[in-house]
Each structure stands twice: as structure tokens, then as C-alpha cells.
Amino acid sequence: MKLAGASLALAGLSACTKQPVEAIVPYVRMPEEFVPGKPLYFATAIPASGGTAGVLAESHMGRPTKIEGNPAHPASLGAASAIMQASVLSLYDPDRSQAIAFRSDIRSYAAFLGSLKEALAAQKSKQGAGICFLTESITSPTAAAQLRGILKQYPAARWFQFEPAGAQTAKAGAVMAFGEPVDTYYRLDGAKVILSLGADFLGSSPASVRYAREFAAGRRVRGGKAEMNRLYSVETMPTITSAKADHRLPLRASEMEEFTRALVEKVDSPHAKWISAVTKDLEQNRGSSAVIPGPEQPAVVHALAHAINHRLGNAGKTVIHIDPIEPQQGGTLEALVAELDAGKVELLIVMGANPVYSAPADLKVKEKLLRAPLRIHHGLYNDETGELCHWHIPDTHFLENWSDTRAFDGTVSIVQPLIAPLYRSKSIHEFLAAFTELPERSGYDIVREHWGAGKPDFETWWRKSVHDGVVAGTASPSKNVALKTKLPAPAPAATGIEVVFRPDPTIHDGRFSNLGWLQELPKPLTKITWDNAAMVSPSLAERLHLQNEELVDLVYQNRTVKAPVWIVPGHAKDSVTLHLGYGRTRAGRVGNGNGFSAYSLRTAGAPWFGAGLEIRKTGARYPLASTQDHQSMEGRSLSLAGTVEEYRENPDFLEELAEAPPRGLTLYPDHKYEGYAWGMAIDLTSCTGCNACTVACQAENNISVVGKDQVLAGREMHWIRVDRYFDGDLDNPAVIHQPVPCMHCENAPCEVVCPVAATSHSSEGLNDMTYNRCVGTKYCSNNCPYKVRRFNFFLYSDFVNPTVAMQKNPDVSVRSRGVMEKCSYCVQRINYARIEAKKEDRAIRDGEAVTACEASCPSQAIVFGNINDPASRVSRLKAEKLNYGMLAELNTKPRTTYLAALRNPNPEMGA
């Protein structure tokens, strides 16, 4: 009776809340190769300024979850940078613009088309004289063709381009040197001596991933071979490139031109000794050296670098010139502002670019934009510029649209979608189609038509190109260009404290502001997260009595911005570096309000540096969330290093630095590992400290972003971190990077102290973490000498947001509050390989089980595999003389070992 009553009550309850009708539909025909639980990989490409990167996107049941490199693509070669990895997060960013809006009211696309039609009709008679397009750099051949088509239709319409951290000076330098615009890239595999003139080619170039691979290959010391390339680096703010340099010269940005002239023209210079040694080294390697100017360097430095490269016979060998991958250049932002001032702009279309936030302050774009009577914004976010436009049309994410794009060497990739657009967004092609006779064409048709749909063999070509992720034979041929001899007269050197602007190492020019993975990714040199800072040298800090986190007023050309100070060992004296990309107001919930906007000091005339900065103390403090509070290794043998010379003389030189107790030195019997025994070796000579592994791990293992206050409290969650130490003279120290994942100790200190056996030893030597069993004593973390364990102090994982949930890797548990977590050697990937191998009744092959960090590493520094197999790559690495275990003297028997870093200093440079 009671039971009946209860069920009646329940029935009544369910009758009251009417359930929505949700039809479930079974697959009548299963999509090809679509097996639940089994990920599929599709080739696509990430459009980016200066050149795309080809990737393979991992798709779980129709959800792209992770980005891997595309081995067939020249800018990836199978690896993926941190920014590439994080691009999947922007697909699911809940703050992405989701609706077409007119003055922030939601409208239909038809309403927009109607309004646009009216505006265009008014322009038709004047040949489009009032139409102005403002775009970012466009690497898509289809989009460029579409724009050209529109400009043909409206001959008086104008196209402007704005890229806040673009390579305009490099283009100007090419014109200065050769009289024609050419793009230049490098073949570092053939370069024995490399001189970087402020170029962070390992970190922030469109071809960085490839450069890192080639550069590392030229430095790899294995077995008897002990040949290494040599890198010289001259720059203002240390980067990961200079951290790898064998010799580094800190130089004010304004002195770079003088330095380069001294190098070319052999004139006297305060750095004569340095220059003569470098020159000699370069001369001895004619045709196999490279001088690489940074994209932020003045045009004349580019021109001078071209001159040196041509003189050394490097052109066509290590230095390749090609036709620009973006053949048509629009006008500059300054020109657009002039037109706005003149009132000649009636219809302004802003595509992607965000000049209201990122334009130089002296252009006053925010006010002047309003002079255009009709403003249309097309972009991924309804950002600072979108806010000031009448219409906002959401752009599609590259994982949602069809497009095409070109790599640094001209190679074309077809961008294919992995998922239907999540929101009512229009791709750039669909948006541009709105200006044509066929305003509602699909992006798919437009891209296919551009590449010649309908032609014989097109379908075969198309399928192959889409499948491979690269269009065969589209790399631009090397171009022979002749050097002009006339160079402009030297500019007078500036005095006083200079301000230097650089794109941020993680969020670039601010476009990635709302990506938590990148915000929380420690900057490679400073280990700061969530903020930018005024980077100063120790000597300047001493002179002005500045301290870390001290808030100062930076006054430059009558503009002021408040910035916290951060002292960077190795920074050039009397110079302050500001990273772009922070201080945003409409980036989204993640990106808003972090740091300060360096753009608010920047001027159009001197976009990268200028003298006359004044630093005024305010007496206030601003906390900066650095993940590493201590910068010195304290003389401990942690990240070992030597020179290739030492290695040649005595390959066993490491034995004096690192000692491990004999393996039998324990009361307990050893673990027995029959079958597989997983292990990892990390080559510190190859590692550039680029952080790709950290983000790859974050994407693969569903690692939470915790926010600035939690990083300040010391609770960041990265399973693999990159430690950074400074060694030696603080004005120009050696910089050491060391990735630290879990060591998977055979005598793991964490395992014995867990009271509930939540962390335990697997039969294959993995130190497994059972989240469900963990009660959270944190004893394991306390007892871990490597401090690689991470704890969920709060409920860090987002269990609420549906789009965020879509990114999660279904093969990895999403951790809840109160449990410990740490690197698992990507056990889910090992098990995937195991299942595949078992199906074929064989052993897992070497290289089949690949951890996420290993897969993403651009320089192939991380190698994972079965150490029970003496022929595996990891076993061979562990047999190298340079192999050592960190803190092996504790008898933890770490499974992750390191290969000591070797440098190749020039004996002529002295110490």
C-alpha cells in the first residue's frame, strides 16, 4: 500500500513536469569508419598570419578534441606548437560570438543581407568609392581571390590590412634589398652556424615548429657523432631561441642597426671582438650558415641581413627567397585612418582585425572608426572593434569551415571542417560572398570552385588534397633575386631608456587572450602567467631601485600606462620590453582584465621600439603569478650541461656530476617487469623550452585551468612543466630549460606513503594514480622530490559548461575536487596501442605508444617507449653516455631520464 502510494506520488510528479520530446535516431547507415570509442584523425590547417600550420585533428564521435601535427605538412612535420594545440579550445570557447547582431540585438542573416544590399546599391553608382575593407593578413588564396573579385566589381573600393604583430618591416627590408617583395625562409638543417639578429625563430615564427626540428637535428649528439651547429644570438629580451644560443649578446633594440652595419661593413663597433669572432665563424661556413633577422627588426636590418647572406653564398642553400605567400597587399591602417579623417569611408567592413584594441595609440582608431556611417564587423569574437560596429557577423572557427591557406613556403592546405558550426556563424568565404551576386553560397562550393571544381580529375585531386592536408606541388620555388647595393644612411642612435614591443610568447598579439591554456601557460623565460609586465634588466632595476611586481607608470610620448616590473636576467640594459596582447576589455571572461595594454603606448611610426621612456614609481604593488619563484639551480646537479668539446674529450664527463647508487642497494626485492617496461628520455640539448608539451598534455589529459589567484597560491595543474634556471652572470646568464613530467620512479616515494593505495606501481613500471580511491592526504605530493603531483584543491574541472565538456578527451577521467593527479605517461594511449596490438596478436611496436608530449615536441626532445626492448629508441637513448637520472642519488630509480645539454661555444670567444 505504502509502495503504491509512493509510485502514485511519483507518477503525479512526472506528470506535472512535462518532459520534452526528444527523438533518438539510430544510424540507419553507419558513417564510414565511425566506431564509437575510436578516435578518427582528419587533416586540416590552422590559418595564421605569415603562414599556416597543417594539423591532424582528433575527433571523438564527431567532436574534435585535440590537435596533432600533420607529418606531411612542411610547417608541422608531425609536431604542434602550444598555440596550435590550444586552437581547439577556441572552438569550444563559450565566450565566442554566437549570434549575428545589429547594435547588439540578435538578427537573422537575411536581415543583414538586406541591409548590406541597400548599402551596396548606394555604392554601385560611385563604383564603391565609399567601401573600405580592413582585414588581417589573408593567407587563403580563395579569400584573396574573392576580395579581388569584389574590388573589381567596385573599382573604387579600397582594401586595407592591419596585423599588429605582422612582418611589415621584413617585407620592407626585402624591397630595400632586392627591389621587390620576397618572403624568406631558412633551411636550418644545412646551417652549421646561425646568427640570430633578434629573431625568435624557434618560438614565434610561422615556421618555428619546422625550424626547431631542423635546428635540433643539427645539434643532436649520439654515439660517436659529436658534431653540432652553433647559434649566436643578439637581442634585447631573452627568448627561447637565445636560451639555446651558444653565445648571446644582449643589445638594445635601437643598437641593432648599428651592430648589423658593423657586421656588414666591418666598421668599428663596441662589440668588435664579438663581431670578428662571429664573422670568422660565418666565413668559414659559407653556404652553410644563416643570418636570421627578427620580424620586429627595422627594414634596414633585414636588408643588411640579406646582404650578409648573399655575400656568404647562403641564398638558395640555407636562405630561401620565394614570392610572397600573400601576393596582394592592402593599404596600411594609417591610410585607412586618413580616409576616415577625410570622410571618404561610408561602408567599413572589418574582418578579423581588432584595430580598436590593437592599433597604435596615436592613430586614435577608436574615435575615428565612428566616422564611417555603416560599420560591419566579421570575427570570431564580438570584440572591442565589434562593439563599435553596427553589424557583427560571427566568424566560423577553422574546425567548422571549409577554406584554404598557405604555409610559410607557399604550400597550400585545404581546411576541412570537423564539425558543423556550433553557432550561426559565417566563414570568411561565405561572408565575402554576401558582397557578390550569389550572397548565400556555401563555403564548400566557393573553395571548390576556386580550385577548379568540375575539371576532369578534380575529384581525385580534391580528395587527395583534403585527405593529405597539403596540396602536392604547391610549395613556392626558390627565387633568385639580386642584391641592390644602395642602402639608406644609418639612423642616429637613440639615447635614454627605450621601450621595446614584442608579441607575447603565449597569447601572441592578443588574439588568443581568451584561451585559458595559453593564459596559464608560463612564459618560457619569465614563467609569468596571466599577465604581461615591464621587463627590465637587473642593472636597470638596480639603478632605478625597481623590484619585481612593483607597479610603475610608464610614460612614453605623453602617454602613460601602469605596469608591474619584472626583472629578466639577460635583458639588454636601459631597455624595457612590453609584451602585446594584454589589457583587453572584450576578449571574454578568461581574457578580460589581465595585464595592461602595451598598444596604448605604441605609435604607428615606431611600432617595435622607441627611445624616451620614463619610469615613474607609484609605490603600489601588483602581484604577478609566476610558476617558478626561484631562478637559480643553487649549484645542484639537476639539469646537467657541458660543452661538446668536453664530451669529445671525455664522453664520461657526466659521471663526475651525477652519481646514482648501485641498483642493488635496497632491502626490498626489485620489481619484476616482464613484458613491457615504459620509460622516457628527454634530450636537454634538443629541448627548446617552447611549452608545446605542456599544452599538449593539458589537451590530452583534461587538465584544468585554475586562474591567476590559484597560480599565485602555487596550485597550477600542469602535468609536465618546463623548469627554467639562470646560471652565471645575471646580465647575460646561461638559460636552462628542463621539462619535468612524472619520473615514474621504480622506488617511488609517493607509493609507500599513500594510506589508501591510490597511487600504486603497475606491472609495467607506471606509477598509476587511481582518482576514485584517492582521499587527498597530499602526503604523496609532499614526499615527491620532483614535485610533479598536482592536487584539486577546489573543484577546478568545469562540469557545467556544455561546450567546454565537448573538448574533453573521453579516454581520460575528468578529476573532481579533492584528488591528486599527475602525469600518467598517457596510459590511455599505451592501452590504445595495446588493444590494437592484441587484435593483431603481436607486441606493441616501438613508436606505437606515443605520449602527447612526445607527439607534440617540435624538436623531438622527448622519446617514450619500452625499455625492456634494447632496440627501442628510448633504450638506445638511455644507453647514451649523456643519459642521467635527476636526483638519482635518492635511489628513486626514475624511469624518466635526461640527456645532458651540450653547448657548442666558440673557443675564440673565450668564457
Partner 1 sequence: MSAATPPLQPPIVDPAQTFGSVTDKISSIVLSKKSPLVWLVGFGIAFSLTMLLLYSIGYLLVKGIGIWGVNVPVGWGFDIVNFVWWIGIGHAGTLISAILLLLRQTWRNSINRFAEAMTLFAVACAGLYPVLHLGRPWLMYWLFPYPNTMGLWPQFRSPLVWDVFAVSTYASVSLLFWFVGLIPDLATLRDRSQHRFARFAYGILAMGWRGSARHWQVYDTCSLLLAGLATPLVVSVHTVVSFDFAVGLIPGWHATIFPPYFVAGAIYSGFAMVMTLAIPLRKIYGLEGLITMRHLQNMAKVMLATGLIVAYGYMVEAFMAWYSGNPYERFMIWNRMTGPYAMGYWALIFCNVIAPQTLWSSKIRNSVPVLFVLSIIVNIGMWLERFIIVVTSLHRDFLPSSWGMYRPTVWDWSTFAGTIGLFAALLFLFIRFLPMISIFEIRQILPQAEVTEPQK
User: Which residues sit at the interface with partner 1, rule CB under 8 A?
Assistant: 628-636, 638, 710, 713-715, 721, 723-725, 738, 740, 749, 752-757, 773-779, 781-783, 785-787, 789-795, 817-820, 887, 890
Question: Smaller CB distance to partner 1: residue 91 or 703?
Answer: 703
For the CB of residue 522, give the shortest distance to partner 1 in the complex, in Å: 11
Question: Smaller CB distance to partner 1: residue 557 or 760?
Answer: 760
For the CB of residue 387, give the shortest distance to partner 1 in the complex, in Å: 35
Question: Smaller CB distance to partner 1: residue 226 or 890?
Answer: 890
Question: Smaller CB distance to partner 1: residue 491 or 713?
Answer: 713
Long-range Cβ contact pairs of 777-783 (< 8 A, separation 24 or more): 778/820, 779/753, 779/754, 779/755, 780/749, 780/750, 780/751, 780/753, 780/754, 780/820, 781/750, 781/820, 782/753, 783/749, 783/750, 783/753
For the CB of residue 240, give the shortest distance to partner 1 in the complex, in Å: 16
Question: Smaller CB distance to partner 1: residue 11 or 756?
Answer: 756
Instruction: Give the residue carrying C-alpha cell 619584472.
Output: 566
For the CB of residue 897, give the shortest distance to partner 1 in the complex, in Å: 15
- Identify the burial level of 189 via C-beta atoms within 10 angstroms of its C-beta, where 0-12 means exposed, 13-18 middle and 19 or more buried: middle
Please report, as a single letter, which amino acid is at residue 317.
Answer: K
Question: Smaller CB distance to partner 1: residue 165 or 740?
Answer: 740
Furthest C-alpha separation in the chain: 104
For the CB of residue 744, give the shortest distance to partner 1 in the complex, in Å: 16
Q: Which residues, 6 or more positions from 768, have their beta carbon under 8 angstroms from its beta carbon? A: 759, 760, 761, 762, 824, 827
For the CB of residue 250, give the shortest distance to partner 1 in the complex, in Å: 23
H-state helical runs in 103-193: 109-124, 141-153, 168-178
For the CB of residue 533, give the shortest distance to partner 1 in the complex, in Å: 20
Report the distance separating Cα 452 and Cα 108, nearest Å: 32
Count CB neighbours of 753 within 10 A: 15
For the CB of residue 723, give the shortest distance to partner 1 in the complex, in Å: 4
- 766 and 827 in contact (C-beta within 8 Å)? yes
Question: Smaller CB distance to partner 1: residue 633 or 641?
Answer: 633
Question: Smaller CB distance to partner 1: residue 345 or 711?
Answer: 711
For the CB of residue 564, give the shortest distance to partner 1 in the complex, in Å: 18
For the CB of residue 207, give the shortest distance to partner 1 in the complex, in Å: 30
For the CB of residue 10, give the shortest distance to partner 1 in the complex, in Å: 28
Q: How far from chain centre, in Å, is Cα 169?
A: 22
- 636 and 865 in contact (C-beta within 8 Å)? no
If we measure between CA atoms, which residue out of 209, 184, 200, 189 comes closest to residue 73?
209
For the CB of residue 809, give the shortest distance to partner 1 in the complex, in Å: 23
If we measure between CA atoms, which residue out of 440, 430, 438, 432 comes closest to residue 400?
430
For the CB of residue 526, give the shortest distance to partner 1 in the complex, in Å: 13
Question: Smaller CB distance to partner 1: residue 9 or 795?
Answer: 795
Question: Smaller CB distance to partner 1: residue 611 or 720?
Answer: 720
- 627 and 716 in contact (C-beta within 8 Å)? yes
- 599 and 358 in contact (C-beta within 8 Å)? yes
For the CB of residue 690, give the shortest distance to partner 1 in the complex, in Å: 17
For the CB of residue 709, give the shortest distance to partner 1 in the complex, in Å: 10
Per-residue cell: 62: 564527431
- 532 and 504 in contact (C-beta within 8 Å)? yes
Per-residue cell: 497: 631608456
Question: Smaller CB distance to partner 1: residue 636 or 663?
Answer: 636
Long-range Cβ contact pairs of 483-492 (< 8 A, separation 24 or more): 483/177, 483/178, 483/306, 483/307, 483/310, 484/176, 484/177, 484/178, 484/179, 487/176, 487/300, 487/303, 487/304, 487/307, 488/176, 488/300, 490/257, 490/258, 490/261, 491/257, 491/298, 491/300
Instruction: Calculate helix-pair angle for 299-311, 256-265, nearest 10 degrees.
Output: 20
Query: What are the two backbone dihedrals, phi and then psi, of residue 293, each rounded to the nearest 5 degrees?
Result: -85, 145
Report the distance separating Cα 786 and Cα 465, nearest Å: 46
Question: Smaller CB distance to partner 1: residue 563 or 625?
Answer: 625
For the CB of residue 202, give the shortest distance to partner 1 in the complex, in Å: 21
Residue 315: strand pairing partners: 319
From first CA to last CA, the distance across the chain in angstroms is 93
Instruction: Give the residue carrying C-alpha cell 636590418.
Output: 301
- Identify the burial level of 41 via C-beta atoms within 10 angstroms of its C-beta, where 0-12 means exposed, 13-18 middle and 19 or more buried: middle
- 683 and 884 in contact (C-beta within 8 Å)? no
For the CB of residue 713, give the shortest distance to partner 1 in the complex, in Å: 5
- 873 and 750 in contact (C-beta within 8 Å)? no
Between strands 641-643 and 901-903, the pairing is parallel
Report the distance separating Cα 257 and Cα 526, nearest Å: 27
Residue 343's SS3 state is coil
Count CB neighbours of 481 within 10 A: 19
Question: Smaller CB distance to partner 1: residue 153 or 783?
Answer: 783
For the CB of residue 852, give the shortest distance to partner 1 in the complex, in Å: 21
Query: What are the two backbone dihedrals, phi and then psi, of residue 372, each rounded to the nearest 5 degrees?
Result: -80, 125
